[in-house]
Amino acid sequence: MYNGIGYNQSNKFFVRPKTNKVITDSSKLFGSDQGTAGVTRKPNKEIQEHDCKRQVELKLLMLEKKLVDLGYTDVEISEKLDEARKSLEDQDGEPSVLISEK
């Protein structure tokens, strides 16, 4: 009872954080995930490639929006996007397509 009113209940869903203790006893062997506190892993190549592809698609969407705003036709837009996609896949830079206003 809290001041004679109600019932205090503890939070049953609170999970205490695990401590990263390293076992110094040489008789016990380390598991695959033990003893790596503070050590970072190498990035996954597949994830990096996927991120690069997403960045290319983002740049192409921005280019397409800009071309639509400038009043290009659908055929011209698709040609310029194909050129930009090839240049972006070859080199991870900005599209080499020059946007000139009509």
Closest CA to 64 of 53, 51, 78, 83: 78
Give the list of residues 6+ apart from residue 85 with CB closer than 8 angstroms, or none: 56, 60
| 36-93 tens-digit pLDDT | 666 677 888 999 999 999 999 999 999 999 999 999 999 999 999 999 999 988 876 4
> Could you tell me the pTM of the whole model?
0.51
Domain boundaries, the chain: 45-90
